[in-house]
């Protein structure tokens, strides 16, 4: 379900604007709350701390929107009208995982949860936002609020859109306000954090039967363990090739624990019959933020997740607890470089040398590199100067990376089900940030595995309380959760780590099925019209002939950008 509203800016806003909601679905909630001086709409899947919703609705009546957003977790949109002030306030939930789009012209303001609904606006001369494409080439997503069209932007992260005679934005939360100078050592925080996570995660676990993601890692099984403690009904799913650890380990766990597991096997049949169509659906339904390589997310919605209203995941867990260090689709190498205080000339050289810029028109890069540098240094200069590189990086991680990386997945999924992510409980994050367990307090790009493993110790302490039987079930890293609870455990963990290194299993390595999917799609990809004012057709042509294999991450990113641009521009392209 989406919302859409138009405001005529030529005169004062004397009454509440008409808010149009799209056709109701069977999973979203739409709460209407009447206040003394107006009303609120809450659309999506708010996760309240208790059953007493009136207490939290009164916070809205008092105009304390940030307090409400910090107290009520989940993924939702908030729309509030104050009749006395003639004021409209619109926001997304914490960190703007779900974007709010707006179009502001001389006499017209249109706001929606859907980029597509804004694109249907008549009498607007649409033009591509060229800097958006430069940012996507460098970072895999826009740095801040840009979209593929210059006329449409997103509301800044952790901000309210406010309209009262004119359009403005008001920040409701500074995540750095929750940093502390002297965090409690993680060894003294384990019990409290384990109990806090369990307490907060319980409210995310649906009463109705649901699906949970289960892989070879720690995050998903930690969330699932809370559901097991609560004796809730669920099945699990994962995706990958038949030999993938994210398929083999969950199947082993399901046999041992008596859980129904539904693997999504990404084999040759999937590649030939399902990848292309589902990749195009994911790309278009995420409004260009997702890439076709994530086709399996949409395919899952049409198959194993077809009949469920809720999906519980371990998303955000590792990112919050462990220091980020490896460049990949979530954080590019250039993004890491921004927080290492490069001078402007040095950063300019890094941008020009980036593999991603080769996909763009050289004229576009020349035109927009300096405006981009201006925005980057303006952003960096406004970060608290006393903070370390890692603490500044984590501000960007919380406020931008989470929405840009996880947002497309959740944006697409919310069209079919409710995604719940217990690790994104703001109360849990608030408590975590008071301890040395938080990745915020690590060294920037911490590379010592023994300085990074404390997050996994927390997971083991949670499992000990909720599902002790899971402590002896293997992880994809070659060791068991119980090893984090025994004196001899570090030796066994080191052995597993060494074996993994010897097998040359690189974190973030591109899986074989992804390579096969790209190769099988080349005939379709070569049909895509490339706008020469944005892209470099000659370089794309080189990539189509084998070179893409040495640069697959950038290739998939920029071919997805070209596909979506062709769909929303004057070009005609059939996605069937």
Q: pLDDT (tens digit, 9 = 90+) per residue, 410-420?
A: 999 999 999 99
pLDDT, greater one: 359 or 51: 359
**Angle at alpha carbon of residue 40, lines to 155 and 70, rounded to 5°:** 60
Contacts of 244 (CB under 8 A, 6+ apart): 511
pLDDT digits (tens, 9 = 90+) for 71-80: 999 999 999 9
Determine which helix (DSSP H) or strand (DSSP E) holds 196, and give its type and residue range.
helix 190-202
Token couple for 480: 């068991």
**Model confidence at 366, in pLDDT bands (50, 70, 90)?**
very high
Q: Are 460 and 471 in contact (CB under 8 A)?
A: yes
Residue 574 pLDDT class (50, 70, 90 cuts):
very low
Query: In this predicted structure, what is the pLDDT of residue 13?
Result: 86
On the question of pLDDT at 570 being above 70, the answer is no
Please answer whether residues 338 and 347 qualify as being in contact, where contact means their C-beta atoms are separated by less than 8 angstroms: yes
Q: Residue 273, exposed/middle/buried by CB under 10 A (0-12, 13-18, 19+)?
A: exposed
pLDDT, residue 153, reads: 98
Can you tell me the mean pLDDT for 62-71? 96
% helix, strand, coil for the chain, step of 5: 50, 15, 35
Q: What is the pLDDT of residue 331?
A: 93
Helices H, strands E: what count in the chain? 23, 16
Residue 112 phi, psi (nearest 5): -155, 160
Average pLDDT over residues 273-282: 97
Instruction: Copy the structure tokens of residue 469.
Output: 């039987």
Separation CA 553–CA 556 (nearest Å): 5
Is 571's pLDDT higher than 50?
A: no
The pLDDT value given to residue 181: 96
When the candidates are 3.60.20.10, 1.10.1060.10, 3.40.50.2300, 3.90.1150.10, the CATH number that belongs to 3-127+149-173 is 3.60.20.10
Q: What percent of the chain has pLDDT over 90?
A: 82
Write out pLDDT tens, residues 199-210. Answer: 999 999 999 999
- For residue 504, is pLDDT > 70? no
Residue 163 Rama label (left phi>0; alpha psi -120 to 50; beta): beta
What's the confidence (pLDDT) of residue 531?
Answer: 95
Q: Tell whether the model's pLDDT for residue 573 goes beyond 60.
A: no
pLDDT band at 560 (very low <50, low <70, confident <90, very high): very high
CB 406 within 8 A of CB 456: no
User: Is there a contact between 67 and 160 (Cβ–Cβ < 8 Å)?
Assistant: no
Q: Given this model, what pLDDT does residue 508 score?
A: 54
Compute the mean pLDDT over every residue in the chain, rounded to the nearest whole number: 93
Specify the pLDDT at position 452: 54
Any idea what DSSP says for residue 551?
G
**Average pLDDT of the segment spanning 543-554:** 90
Segment 7-25 shows an average pLDDT of 89
Q: What is the pLDDT of residue 502?
A: 60
Residue identified by tokens 């069937």 is 576
3-state SS assignment for residue 234:
strand
> At the fourth CATH level, which superfamily is domain 178-324+399-502?
HUPs (3.40.50.620)
Closest CA to 421 of 193, 175, 97, 144: 97
| pLDDT value at residue 473 | 94
E strand or H helix that includes residue 493: helix 489-502
Q: Where are the domains of the chain?
A: 3-127+149-173, 178-324+399-502
pLDDT of residue 500: 60
Q: Kindly report which listed range (94-108, 313-327, 499-513) carries the lowest average pLDDT score.
A: 499-513
Compute the C-alpha angle 364/369/372, nearest 5°: 120
**How confident is the model at residue 325, as a pLDDT?**
76
State yes or no: pLDDT of 443 exceeds 60.
yes
Give the residue-averaged pLDDT of 376-393: 96
Mean pLDDT of 566-571: 76
C-alpha–C-alpha distance, residues 119 and 406, integer Å? 23
Residue written as token pair 């195009």: 280
């Amino acid at each position: 379900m989406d919302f859409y509203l138009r405001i005529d800016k030529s005169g004062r806003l004397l009454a509440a604007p008409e808010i149009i909601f799209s056709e109701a679905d069977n999973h979203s909630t739409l709460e209407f709350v009447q206040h003394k001086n107006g009303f609120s709409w809450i659309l999506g899947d708010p996760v309240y701390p208790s059953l007493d919703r009136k207490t939290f609705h009164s916070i809205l009546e008092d105009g304390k929107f940030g307090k409400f957003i910090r107290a009520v977790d989940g993924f939702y949109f908030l729309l509030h009208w104050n009749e006395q002030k003639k004021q409209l306030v619109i926001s997304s939930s914490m960190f703007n995982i779900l974007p709010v789009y707006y179009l502001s012209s001389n006499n017209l303001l249109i706001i929606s949860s859907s980029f597509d609904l804004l694109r249907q606006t008549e009498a607007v001369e649409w033009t591509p936002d060229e800097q958006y494409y430069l940012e996507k080439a460098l970072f895999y997503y826009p740095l801040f609020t840009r979209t593929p069209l210059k006329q449409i932007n997103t509301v800044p992260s952790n901000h309210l859109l406010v309209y009262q005679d004119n359009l403005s934005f008001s920040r409701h939360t500074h995540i750095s306000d929750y940093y502390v100078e002297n965090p409690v050592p993680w060894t003294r925080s384990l019990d409290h954090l384990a109990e806090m996570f369990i307490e907060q995660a319980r409210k995310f676990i649906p009463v109705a039967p649901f699906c949970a993601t289960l892989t070879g890692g720690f995050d998903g099984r930690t969330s699932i363990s809370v559901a097991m403690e609560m004796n809730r009904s669920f099945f699990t799913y994962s995706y990958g090739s038949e030999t993938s650890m994210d398929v083999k380990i969950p199947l082993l766990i399901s046999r041992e624990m008596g859980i129904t597991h539904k693997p999504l096997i990404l084999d040759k049949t999937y590649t030939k019959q399902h990848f292309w169509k589902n990749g195009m659906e994911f790309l278009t339904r995420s409004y260009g933020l997702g890439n076709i390589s994530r086709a399996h997310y949409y395919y899952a919605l049409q198959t194993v997740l077809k009949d469920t209203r809720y999906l519980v995941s371990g998303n955000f867990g590792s990112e919050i607890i462990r220091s980020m260090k490896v460049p990949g689709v979530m954080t590019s190498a250039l993004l890491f470089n921004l927080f290492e205080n490069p001078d402007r000339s040095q950063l300019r050289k890094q941008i020009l040398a980036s593999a991603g810029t080769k996909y763009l028109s050289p004229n576009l890069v020349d035109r927009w590199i300096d405006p981009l540098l201006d925005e980057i240094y303006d952003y960096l200069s406004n970060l608290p100067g006393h903070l370390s590189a890692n603490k500044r990086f984590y501000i960007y991680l919380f406020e931008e990376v989470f929405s840009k990386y996880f947002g497309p997945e959740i944006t697409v999924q919310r069209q079919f089900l409710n995604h719940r992510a217990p690790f994104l409980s703001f109360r849990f994050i608030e408590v975590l940030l008071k301890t040395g367990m938080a990745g915020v307090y690590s060294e920037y790009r911490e590379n010592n595995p023994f300085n990074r493993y404390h997050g996994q110790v927390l997971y083991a302490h949670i499992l000990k309380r909720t599902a002790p039987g899971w402590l002896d079930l293997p992880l994809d890293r070659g060791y068991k959760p119980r090893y984090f609870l025994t004196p001899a455990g570090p030796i066994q963990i080191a052995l597993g780590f060494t074996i993994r290194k010897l097998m040359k299993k690189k974190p973030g390595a591109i899986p074989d099925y992804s390579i096969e999917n790209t190769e099988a799609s080349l005939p379709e990809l070569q049909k895509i019209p490339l706008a020469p004012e944005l892209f470099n057709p000659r370089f794309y042509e080189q990539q189509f002939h084998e070179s893409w294999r040495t640069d697959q991450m950038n290739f998939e990113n920029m071919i997805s950008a070209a596909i979506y641009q062709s769909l929303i521009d004057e070009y005609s392209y059939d996605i069937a």
